[in-house]
Amino acid sequence: MKQTLFSATLDNGVVLVGEELPGLESVAVAFHTPAGAVHDGPERCGLATLSGEMMLRGAGDRSSREVVETLEGAGVQWSQAVSTSHASFAGAMVARQLPAALPIYADMLRRPRLEAAEFANARQMVLQNLAGTEDDPSHRAMSALRQLHYPAPWGMPSEGISTQVEALGVEAVREFVAHNVRPGGTIISIAGRIDWPDFVARAESLFGDWSPGAATAVPTGPRGPRFRHVPHDSQQTHIALAWSAPPYRSDESYEASAALAILGGGTSARLFTEVRERRGLCYSVSAGYQTLRDHAAAVCYSGTSAARAQETLDVMLGEIGRLPGTLTAEELDRVKARAKSGLVMQQESSASRANAIARQWYHLGKVRTLADELARYDSITVDSIEAWLAANPVRDMSVVSLGREPLEVTHAVSA
Amino acid sequence: MQFRHERLANGLDVIAEISPGALSTSVGFFVRTGARDESDSLWGASHFLEHMVFKGTHDLSADEINRRFDWMGAAANAFTSEEDTVYHAAVLPDQQEQAVSLLARMMRPALRDEDFRTEKLVILEEIRMYDDQPPFGADDRCRAAFFGGHPLARSVLGTVDSVTALTVEAMRDYHRRRYAPGNIVLACTGAVDFDALVESARRHCGEWDPLPPPDRAVPPTARPPGGRSTVEAITRPAAALEYAVRMSAGPDGADDDRFPAKVLAVILGDDSGSRLYWSLVDSGDAEHASLHHHDFLDAGLFATQLSCDASDVEAMLARIVDLYVEVGRRGVAAAELEQARNKLAGRVVLAGERPRRRLFGVGLEWARAGRYRSVADDLAIVEGIDLDDVHRVLARWPLHGPSTTVLAGPHAAASL
């Protein structure tokens, strides 16, 4: 498949990456600034999320409401999110709207008003969202799992902690934005129906005179305990497991994610087959690979009635333990087929591609071509996965149960 | 894009929207059956049957079906609603035949006793899973109260009791009646080889017994309880927020006013940039406040969804009703209409680029109305809506009129 990729770096460090997707009418653009939750700081969990919200609430000569109405009036599907590593502002639109949309995003990054008058509402909105996540059992379980698995602050919940958000003031937001929203580490990605030279020229004029600032160091702390039970008044008990995996930039991440796909990636994967299809123990069960820049995880999840949760956990652990030495070529072929068709179908969505190429730049400092990616998948063999599994036995597993009663996990910790 | 249609001798419709340059092919079987076609003793059968379809045929095991989908790299799944049951797979174009033939064979499942017993456990877990999640059943309960004795009152999943009581014999009979070829549409979008599609449909579905398409109960009383608003409550003492669902009447699926109704819902209650957003969400007074229009064959409704601090729920509902009174009195502004039309047009274009998104629009429209609408047709509809259309909707179905509201959360019991 023909693929047209571009990249450029402005003098101040802003990286531009692009992919032309023939046949699309749309274009998607995403601005990822290095103002993620990892920079929240002690006792300020939620500061990045609150700052991201404030950056939307008025920028340049537009009020909060004018920002949204201008974007939506142009038919831009906009979004804003704060992850562990980045604050991201994105939009997907019919290509002719791009010249009108770009300056609004430039204002959000470079000239957010951060007005005191908006602050109370923004903080209240963040607190409302936090309360909403309290009612979502699977979200709570996975959030608790990340806190156990990753060393602080990499596992802290980006949505924040209520008591800490309540104590934040507008000055903290202004300081956070001044330190962390900066050209170095900012990635602007664009995909779809693009005119690359025109885009570079516009980006140069909007961001070229943005003064660089120093990167903020992130001191990495210790990991949490290996097991936590989260009391929750629910009929189901939710089980979340994690153990270490190589980060995406490591070449072995392909073997790791293939092994996890065989364990729990599709409906023919082992967990779905053994836990749901054979035993009817649950509705949802899966395994997958998650990565930050320097840390990654193998993650398994299931939710089931309290009375059947122990059996579900035991079967999951049994399948995890059974994986080394038992992989088959047929299983690997199915994993490769799924990965390949997923990569190709991603080319049908400008927004998916804009995110994918930015993610690759963050992790690798380059965009991998589709051909390279497919070739790397082709090079995975049963032997290469087995070798990786043998060299990286599952240990130090983090276990979260969420529900009315804790589970018995001595077996899990020694798995 | 090109549209093709062919009907097999036994009544099965085969349709395709062909985009020659597309990178993928999406395939779906759309069965005109859902919760509204059940009786009390079959409550939950449509959705349970959707699961059983993946448990195998007389010569294909469940494991074999799962392996084949993964082998062809398919993104395959299914869903059941009040009126439709849809099985779908997105694949690369060279897998079209594999995907069509597998889905076609699945439409004649074995419905084995043992699989039925095991899968019943999975369904019961699914019911508990949703019961543990916001809005804690308030949506199903509100629809039940809104529709009263009408078949649309039935929830798709059923209840623990109704699913427990279901028998495999009753499901086999339901399948025989409802999965008649004249009640099914095979739809394809993306890079489609239409001749091969029809040939494959003949080979795999041509022998299906040409039973007459089943009747669908469309009682004349498809309307909300007249004149009187009701409020019910589900108590969830441990919930962090209070959840509310409020329904009032709207245009049905045969009424052309359903299009301006959707534009009105965007103006008033889209997830961002709408009146509810600026009044309740932007201010941090509510976690969520939105308005959507849903249409069925013979009924339609506006659904307001709210989540907020439990102690604020009455005040927030009152503020929403005030907004509805205000818009009924003063109408909407031209600028609001323009913004909503542009938003919807952007969504139509972006969704139109993905065959797996187009599949649902194309297939459901044919299953419901025997009609095809292209992306350009959809855009023309959006662009043709004017202020008079929106104001007519407000006059015909006043949003502040009789409504059904269900609350769920810590405050629910105390508030009544």
Task: List the B242-249 sheet strands across, edge first.
Answer: B230-235, B404-409, B242-249, B300-308, B288-295
**Residues A349, B354: C-beta atoms closer than 8 Å:** yes
Exposure class string for B68-93: b at 16+ Cβ within 10 A, else e: bbbbbbbbbebebbbbbbbbbbbbbe
Which amino acid is it at A76? V
How many residues appear in chain A? Answer: 415
pLDDT of residue A71: 97
Q: What ranges in B72-109 are assigned the alpha helix state H?
A: 96-106
pLDDT, one tens digit per residue, over B151-171 is 999 999 999 999 999 999 999
Cβ pair B269, B304 in contact under 8 A? yes
List all residues of chain B from 26 to 45 with a beta carbon under 8 Å from chain A. none
- How far apart CA A267 and CA A334 sit, in angstroms, is 11
Among the partner-chain residues A75, A348, A351, the one whose CB lies closest to the CB of B342 is: A75
Selection from A11, A34, A53 nearest residue A181 by Cα: A34
Q: What is the largest CA-CA distance in chain A?
A: 63
What is the average pLDDT value for chain B, to the nearest integer?
95
CATH number of B2-205: 3.30.830.10
Nearest CB to A283: which of B22, B24, B122?
Answer: B122
Of B95, B283, B349, the CB nearest to A26: B349
Interface test mutation site (partner A, options B19, B64, B128, B411, max chain A beta carbons within 10 A): B128
Beta partners for B283? none
Residue B226 scores a pLDDT above 80: no
Interface touch B240/A131, C-beta < 8 Å? yes
Identify the bridge partners of residue B15 per DSSP, sorted by sequence position.
Answer: B5, B187
- Residues near A217 by beta carbon (within 8 Å), at least 6 away in sequence: none
pLDDT of residue B416: 52
Q: Does B239 touch chain A (CB under 8 A)?
A: yes
Q: For residue B249, report the phi and psi dihedrals to the nearest 5 degrees.
A: -70, 150
Q: pLDDT tens digits, residue range B261-313? A: 999 999 999 999 999 999 999 999 999 999 999 999 999 999 999 999 999 99
Distance of CA B411 to the CA centre of its chain: 30
**CA A198 to CA A205: how far, in whole Å?**
11
Structure tokens at B106: 């699945």
The region that residue B277 occupies, defined by phi over 0 for left and psi between -120 and 50 for alpha, beta otherwise, is alpha
Summarised one tens digit per residue, pLDDT across range A2-34 is 899 999 999 999 999 999 998 899 999 999 999
Answer for the pair A409, A226: CB distance below 8 angstroms, yes or no: no
Instruction: Look at A344 and B24 and tell me if their CB atoms are within 8 Å.
Output: yes
> Looking at beta carbons, which residues of chain B come within 8 Å of A303?
125, 129
Q: What is the pLDDT of residue A23?
A: 87
Q: Which of residues 36-95 of B touch A (CB under 8 A)?
A: 54, 62-63, 66-67, 69-76, 90-92, 95
H or E, element range at A278? none
- What is the spatial distance between Cα A190 and Cα A198, in angstroms, rounded to a whole number? 12
CATH 3.40.30.10 fits B230-409, yes or no: no
Flag whether pLDDT at B404 surpasses 90. yes
Q: Check residue A137 and give left, alpha or beta (phi > 0: left; psi -120 to 50: alpha).
A: alpha
Residues of B with CB below 8 A from A98's CB?
Answer: none
Nearest Cα to Cα of residue B28 among B202, B190, B208, B199? B190
State the Cα–Cα distance between residues A325 and B168, nearest whole angstrom.
40
Q: Is B261 on the interface with A (CB under 8 A)?
A: no
pLDDT in tens, A35-90: 999 999 999 999 999 999 999 999 999 999 999 999 999 999 999 999 999 999 99
Task: Look at residue A415 and tell me whether its pLDDT is greater than 50.
Answer: no
Q: How confident is the model at residue B411 (pLDDT cuts 50, 70, 90)?
A: confident
pLDDT over 70 at A393, yes or no: yes
pLDDT band (50, 70, 90) for residue A122: very high
Q: Which residue has the higher pLDDT, B216 or A27?
A: A27
Dump pLDDT digits (tens) for B84-126.
999 999 999 999 999 999 999 999 999 999 999 999 999 999 9
pLDDT at B222: 46
Instruction: Give chain A's mean pLDDT.
Output: 95
Quote the tokens at residue A83: 């992850």
> Dihedrals φ, ψ of B331, to 5°?
75, -170
Q: What residues of chain A lie within 8 A of the CB of B307, using their CB?
A: 132
Helix (H) / strand (E) containing A393: none
Q: What is the mean pLDDT of residues A311-319?
A: 96
- pLDDT band per the 50, 70, 90 thresholds, residue B227: low
**Residue B412: predicted pLDDT:** 67
Q: Could you give the dihedral angle defined by the CA atoms of residues A308, A394, A246 and A253, in that order, rounded to the nearest 10 degrees?
A: -70
Residues of B in contact with A339 (CB under 8 A): 73
A15 φ/ψ angles, rounded to the nearest 5 degrees = -100, 135
Q: How far apart are CA B285 and CA B278, in angstroms?
A: 10
Burial class (CB in 10 A: 0-12, 13-18, 19+), A296: buried
Partner residue opposite A135 with nearest CB, options B24, B240, B345: B240
Q: What is the pLDDT of residues A130-144, one digit of tens each?
A: 999 999 999 999 999
Predicted local confidence at residue B244, as pLDDT: 98
Give the single-character DSSP code of B182. Answer: G
Which pLDDT belongs to residue A411?
Answer: 52
- CA dihedral (A252, A255, A259, A265) in degrees, to 10, reads 100
| Distance between CA atoms of residues B104 and B13, nearest Å | 13
Name the 3-class secondary structure at A4: strand
Tell me the C-alpha distance between A122 and A51, whole Å: 9
What confidence category does residue B214 fall into, taking pLDDT thresholds of 50, 70 and 90?
confident
Quick one: closest CA in A to B135, which residue?
A135
Nearest to B47, CA basis, from B90, B12, B82, B99 = B82
pLDDT at A214: 81
Q: Which residues of B touch A125 (CB under 8 A)?
A: 281-284
Of the pLDDT bands very low, low, confident and very high (cuts 50, 70, 90), residue A414 is very low
Give the closest residue to A412 by CA, choosing from A229, A200, A152.
Answer: A229
If DSSP codes are grouped into helix, strand and coil, which group holds residue A93? strand
Angle, helix A98-110 to helix A64-73, in steps of 10 degrees: 160
Q: Do the bridges between strand B13-18 and strand B75-80 make them parallel or antiparallel, or are there none, so unpaired? A: unpaired
pLDDT (mean) for A286-291: 96
Geometric angle at alpha carbon A275, from A405 and B117, rounded to 5°? 100
For a pLDDT cut of 90, what percent of chain B falls above it? 93
Give per-residue pLDDT as tens, B367-376.
999 999 999 9
Q: Reply yes or no: is the peptide bond before residue B135 cis, omega within 30 of 0.
A: yes
Q: Chain B contacts of A337, Cβ < 8 Å?
A: 70-73
Helix (H, G, I), strand (E, B) or coil at A90: strand
Average of per-residue pLDDT across B202-228: 78
- Closest listed residue to residue B119, CA positions, set B35, B186, B45: B45
Q: Which residue of A has its CA nearest to B77?
A: A267
The Cα A253–Cα A190 span in angstroms is: 26
Domains parsed from chain A with CATH numbers: 35-181 (3.30.830.10), 227-413 (3.30.830.10)
| Average pLDDT estimate for A147-152 | 94
CA atoms within 13 A on the CB side of A30: 28
Q: What's residue B216's pLDDT?
A: 85
Alpha-carbon gap, residue A409 to B10, rounded angstroms: 57
Domain with CATH 3.30.830.10 in chain B: 2-205, 230-409
Q: Which two tokens stand for residue B383?
A: 């662009």
From the list B130, B267, B128, B399, the residue with the least C-alpha distance to A236 is: B128
- Rounded-to-integer distance, Cα A65 and Cα B313, Å: 25
- Give the tens place of pLDDT for each residue, B128-151: 999 999 999 999 999 999 999 899
